[in-house]
A and B are shown apart, each in its own frame.
Chain A
Amino acid sequence: MKILLVEDHPELAKSIASYLVQENYVCEVAPTFDEAREKLVLFTYDVVLLDIMLPDGNGINLLKLLRKEGVESSVIIISAQNALDFKLTGLSEGADDYITKPFPLPELHARIKAIMRRRSPHKNNVVTFLDITADLESLECRVKGKVLNLTKKETNLLLYFINNKGRMLTRQAIAAHLWGDYTDNLDSVDFVYQHVKNLRKKITDAGGQDYISTVYGFGYKLNAPD
């Protein structure tokens, strides 16, 4: 899977790129409008991560150009603009998704995965982590073949864990993923604790093993046992 990251801030670009490489993506970085355009003409990318404020142009214009030229890459806008900007001005028109800075890296990963799934809906609809499986179509989750009775939020949480297995997920990242734009609540992280607790209980009740470990003061991690 090939990703083009269009971002002019070198340190942020480096961090995002190294994270994506760890997740087994091929990631190239274009720090300017011109360089991005050149790369898009020459190569094909599955996903373009597009910053709006570029030193030599506006990312939105690049997006329009892409769509005009019939480039089929999916585009996720990553911008410091407020979420409300996108809603009020239709800034993200033509893009597949948008995410506002600062964002948790696992969230970016989840968004990329969701987009890829939308692009090829028939391919591999089941994600697996050891003996846990989740069907993305029916949203049915099983442990050792036994169906888990999960709420929508818990299903969402489990998928987020599986998609980011082996990674630290901060409480804030989980809260942002579960409630998204609904809450700016900093104390909604307390509710994350409740949801994770319920999820773990349901998995162990169904006879599964609790693979989720807690990192105190920080968050959670879905880890295969050593």
Chain B
Amino acid sequence: MKLNYRYTIAYAVITFFVLSIGFAIVYAALSRSVTQATIGRLEHLNEVVASRLLSSRDSAGLKSRPNVQIRLLPDTLRQPRTVVVRQEWDSALQARVAVVRLTTYPFVSERRYAITSRASVVEPSDVYLTGLVLVFAWTFVFLLALVVILSELLSWRILRPFNATLRGIQQFQLSQKTPIELPRSRTAEFEELNDFLVRMTARAQRDYQGLQEFSENASHELQTPIASIKAKIELLMDSDELAEKQLGLLAAMHDELERLAKINQSLTLLAKLEHYESRPADLTDFSQLVPATEAAFADLAEMKGLTTTQHLAPAVRVPFDASLAQLLLNNLFSNAIRHNVPGGEIRLELSATELLLANTGHAPTAPVEELFGRFKKGNAALDSIGIGLAIVKRISELYGHRVSYDYADGWHRLRVVFAPPVG
């Protein structure tokens, strides 16, 4: 859920509660104020009656006389006024209404009177309530709409640097040469986050590059001693004094050394490719390169008794450096031949969007997606070092092409889906 949705929901809940409480208060205050206003009027009426008593005038002429009751009290003690509110049947309204009775005890001409006046009050009833609820509901809806729209606008504005930072992190690659680029922000927290990210990625990049350089230099430095040992073995082989047993030992050493050199070369190559900056503007004509590579491997395929079928679209130009494309195809072809069965088949399909290389072969023993890793081999019996597919994957990634591999019905299928052309 997006951050601003969470805010909006929280805000809606708060608004709902605040409005409900507000509604209750307003309702209570309204009903109270109606009673209070009535009491105020009755007080005035009682005062009028009391002043008439003082001037010994008869109150019988008063219009409101039926609603006033005057009693003479036996004692002259001061008493506080009393208010009684009761639901009663009102014949004038033909309904039960709240009746307010106010009794005051004025001291007139040395005598204590009790004057009780009454009045019916129409309290806020259901209709009143509905009206109020409607007002509050509309306020709520209006507020909510405002919150939704504003939160969308505000979060777009306020969270813009945050979203930009997120995009920056997504695009960041440890192997890139430039530091991560994050936009400046006026918000202190975002600025802090950006600072932290910049520092952290810079450190990670430095460590990564150090590691890369180390492994590259290590592999590179190993090549010369290997070359030296190999040359010495070759010189030794040519001496005539060797018995067959010694020659056998030398041969085993030589083979192992060859293997070591190949592993080392592949690792150096992979490290090189990590640093390599691709230029997507370089285009390689696969319609020419694929058949040319096929021809170069033709004698190998022939010796294994493989038949090759090709369906190649003309003029397929793909973003690739020519020598990297050659390396990629070499790896794919030699895999297709190596992991084939004698008398098997190779199928080649090239279209404007993808290259498919399928070959017959035994089922791989490892999960297919693992084969793109280093030193993963689908068939342990074969004398390969298992780094070819890692190189294929790396080269493809340089240009944004996607490589996939699957095995079904006795066919290994390696697919390179070309990245859409730039611009």
Proximity string of chain A (131-157) to chain B, C-beta cutoff 8 Å, 1 when within and 0 when not:
000000000000000000001010000
B20 part of interface (Cβ distance < 8 Å) = no
Which residues from 157 to 183 on chain A have a C-beta closer than 8 Å to any C-beta of chain B? Answer: 167-168, 170, 172, 179, 181-183
Answer yes or no: A104 CB below 8 A from chain B CBs: yes
Q: Flag if B334 contacts A183 (CB, 8 Å).
A: yes
Report whether A217 and B227 are in contact in the complex, using a CB–CB cutoff of 8 Å. Answer: no
A209 within 8 A of B: no
| B231 touching A187, Cβ below 8 Å | no
Contact A19 B382 (CB under 8 A): no
Tell whether A15 is near chain B: CB-to-CB under 8 Å: yes
Select B262's contact among A101, A105, A186, A191, beta carbons within 8 Å.
A186
Residue tally, chain B, CB below 8 Å to A: 55
Shortest distance between the CB of B264 and any CB in chain A (Å): 9
Provide the bound-state CA to CA distance between A12 and B385, in Å: 26
Cross-chain contact of B228 among A12, A85, A170, A182 (Cβ < 8 A)? A12
Can you name 14 extra interface pairs (CB under 8 A) apart from A12-B228, A105-B235, A191-B299?
Answer: A12-B227, A15-B235, A18-B235, A19-B231, A84-B327, A105-B234, A153-B299, A168-B238, A182-B334, A185-B337, A185-B338, A187-B383, A188-B300, A217-B248
How many chain A residues touch B (CB < 8 A): the figure is 44
Q: Is the CB of B223 within 8 A of A80?
A: yes
Please report which residues of chain B, range 191-247, place their CB below 8 angstroms from some CB of chain A when the two chains form the complex. Answer: 220-221, 223-228, 230-232, 234-235, 237-238, 244, 247
The interface residues of chain B lying within 8 Å CB-to-CB of A69 are none
Q: Closest residue to B303 on the A side, CB-wise? A: A194
When the two chains form their complex, are residues A82 and B268 in contact, meaning their CB atoms are under 8 A apart?
A: yes
Q: Does B384 contact A (CB under 8 A)?
A: yes
CA of A167 to CA of B234 in the docked complex: distance in angstroms? 9
In the complex where A172-B258, A218-B251 touch, is A80 in contact with B227 (Cβ < 8 A)?
yes
Complex interface: chain A residues within 8 A of B382 (CB): 187
Interface residues of B in 104-139 (CB under 8 A from A): none
* Chain A residues with CB below 8 A from B225, complex form: 9, 12
